[in-house]
Amino acid sequence: MGAPSAIDQLQRVLEPRCIVTDPAELLVYESDGFTIARARPAAVVFPLSTRQVVQAVQILAREGVQIVPRGSGTGLTGGCVAFDDGIIVSTARMTRIHRIDLDNRAAHVDAGVRNTALTDVLAALPGGSAWHFAPDPSSQRASTIGGNAATNAGGIHTLKDFVSSNHVLGIEMVLADGSVARIGASDGCHESPPLDLPGLVCGSEGTLGIITSLWVRLTPKATAFRNIVGIFATQADACRAISDIIAAGHLPAAMEMLDGPMVQIIEDAYHFGFPRDAAALVLTELDGVEDLLDEQMRQVIEIFRGHNPISVESSADPARRAALWKARKSAFGAIGKISRSYCTQDACVPRSMLADVLAEIGRIGRRYGLQLPNVFHAGDGNVHPIFLYDDRDQRQVQNTLAAAEEILRYCIDVGGALTGEHGVGVEKIHLMPYQFDRATMEQFQRVKAAFDPAQQFNAGKLLPSEKVRVTLLKPGRQAPQ
């Protein structure tokens, strides 16, 4: 019983290149982007087909080993970390695009296809460049479509395009007993049966089974854009402008906010030319029918002007658009230049509460002596305070965790949600009972039990479990000797 016996059997059914057991190589798989949660898996396997996933699941379930599904490992909540000698089953090498059906606006892809890889392949087809897979997490060059579905990922354009579950039509997945389930629509059919099972699996964070392939929606790309950048002297003015734009009935493709500290960090690193004394920068993108955009832009500018901006810039120039998005997407690179470690938190709050939430984040950061710049999807109230810390200093790690918890509790208290797009993983699991009452938590556990009665898949993620012991970072960790 256990991991050593499972590894023996896995080595008999998988090619040597599809199984990793060398401690030095396993180091890479100790964490995802939330590096405070670390554990070395007993092994990592890379099945190449659904059949191999079935074989791996059968062996691991028989041996009672925790099965931890993984895509590219870009998650930000520790969701694909294997605690307690678990074994990671990564779908990252299942990268076939089985079918692209432009007539029915759908594609059938393996779970390991990277988000942008599908759009890149579409671009090479006759007529295909007009289409894309719309969910656009900032990790989209690396993260997999299976991982996007499992976390119900969002992105900069979630405000208008919605999250991944709205783009997943059907799912093939391997269940705990090794059977293969196909749920939702398939073969280009858009309508799911009445019970939205793909909607249930999206966002289940690898706790219900391993997604092996997906039928996804293809969406026409927008072709006409306007960008408006509002610079504000107070965060409160910026937040009210954002709420008023939505309240006035506009639906921008994106509305992103950088607070003052974040603007300074980006300026120090890349010199885009934003004013260093700004308290907030709001980058808005409108898309749609060319003839209507100028009038819509005029109305949005007017709303910005009603909230004491330092400046409002507008543009229809594709080069300026590219430069603005480059600046926005440089945020994490700029942070990497100034901080040894960082983690990005994620919660969702009513837009009308954004100003209060940002003020509270600032207060909590000061109390714990932490730098907490913010860059986030303001249009959908999805806040992302970024914690800068030094992972060698246990006190800073503990302060980060304590401050993160206070922020999340505050977001829930003002009517928000524990996650906007990154999921729960191990990072926020202890706050699930704070957000949901006992009856709801029991319902969640019943859903889990219906799919995975023996808790083989990713126990201790998303839903509390007695089965797996989760430990967070010890300072000064070294590579295994």
Structure tokens at 184: 């939702």
Smallest distance from ligand FAD to CB 113, Å: 10
x-or-dash string of contact with ligand FAD, 326-365, rule CB under 6 A: ------x---------------------------------
Tell me: does residue 72 bind ligand FAD (CB under 6 A): yes
Q: 66-69, long-range: CB within 8 Å, 24+ apart, which pairs?
A: 66/456, 66/457, 66/458, 66/459, 66/467, 66/468, 67/210, 67/456, 67/457, 67/458, 68/41, 68/206, 68/457, 68/458, 69/146, 69/150, 69/206, 69/209, 69/210, 69/211, 69/457, 69/458
Smallest distance from ligand FAD to CB 461, Å: 6
Structure tokens at 417: 């949600």
Residue 421 and residue 153 in contact, taking contact as beta carbons nearer than 8 Å: yes
Number of residues lying near ligand FAD (CB under 6 A): 37
CA contacts within 13 A on the Cβ side of 302 = 8
Pick the closer one to ligand FAD by CB: 137 or 252: 137
CA 61 to CA 459: how far, in whole Å?
A: 13
Residue closest to 42 by CA, chosen among 60, 57, 55, 58: 60
* Stretch in the footprint of ligand FAD (CB under 6 A) among 117-125, 135-143, 192-200, 256-264: 135-143
Smallest distance from ligand FAD to CB 255, Å: 14
* Stretch in the footprint of ligand FAD (CB under 6 A) among 138-146, 287-295, 323-331, 427-435: 138-146
Number of residues assigned to the chain: 481
CA 319 to CA 388: how far, in whole Å?
A: 32
Pick the closer one to ligand FAD by CB: 137 or 170: 137
Residue 339 and residue 388 in contact, taking contact as beta carbons nearer than 8 Å: yes
Smallest distance from ligand FAD to CB 135, Å: 8
CA 173 to CA 218: how far, in whole Å?
A: 21
Pick the closer one to ligand FAD by CB: 47 or 309: 47
Smallest distance from ligand FAD to CB 49, Å: 13
Tell me: does residue 458 bind ligand FAD (CB under 6 A): yes
Q: Which of 41, 47, 71, 260 binds ligand FAD (CB under 6 A)?
A: 71
Q: Which of 76, 106, 185, 278 binds ligand FAD (CB under 6 A)?
A: 76
Name the residue type at position 175.
Answer: L
Residue 447 and residue 197 in contact, taking contact as beta carbons nearer than 8 Å: no
Tell me: does residue 375 bind ligand FAD (CB under 6 A): no
Pick the closer one to ligand FAD by CB: 10 or 231: 10
Tell me: does residue 374 bind ligand FAD (CB under 6 A): no
Smallest distance from ligand FAD to CB 83, Å: 12
x-or-dash string of contact with ligand FAD, 412-431, rule CB under 6 A: ---------xx---------
Smallest distance from ligand FAD to CB 469, Å: 18
Q: Which of residues 152-181 bind ligand FAD (CB under 6 A)?
A: 153-155
Pairing relationship of beta strands 225-232 and 280-287 according to DSSP bridges: antiparallel
**Beta-bridge partner residues of 171:** 183, 214
Smallest distance from ligand FAD to CB 46, Å: 12
Smallest distance from ligand FAD to CB 369, Å: 25
Name the residue type at position 421.
Answer: E
x-or-dash string of contact with ligand FAD, 189-208, rule CB under 6 A: ----------------xx--
Q: Which of 139, 264, 374, 399 binds ligand FAD (CB under 6 A)?
A: 139
Q: Classify each residue of 395-425 as buried b or exposed e, where b means 16 or more C-beta atoms within 10 Å of its C-beta.
A: ebbbbbbebbbbbbebbbebebbbbbbbbbb
Q: What is the layout of strands, in order, in the sheet containing 43-45? A: 19-20, 43-45, 87-90, 67-70
Pick the closer one to ligand FAD by CB: 165 or 314: 165
Residue the block writes with tokens 């100034």: 338
Tell me: does residue 148 bind ligand FAD (CB under 6 A): yes
Pick the closer one to ligand FAD by CB: 56 or 303: 56
* Stretch in the footprint of ligand FAD (CB under 6 A) among 20-28, 34-42, 69-77, 298-306: 69-77
Residue 176 and residue 453 in contact, taking contact as beta carbons nearer than 8 Å: yes
Q: Give the DSSP letter string of 396-419.
A: HHHHHHHHHHHHHHHHHHTT-BS-
* Stretch in the footprint of ligand FAD (CB under 6 A) among 140-148, 221-229, 249-257, 288-296: 140-148
Q: Which residues sit at the interface with ligand FAD, rule CB under 6 A? A: 32-33, 68-76, 79-80, 91, 111, 137-139, 143-144, 146-148, 150-151, 153-155, 205-206, 210-211, 332, 421-422, 458, 461
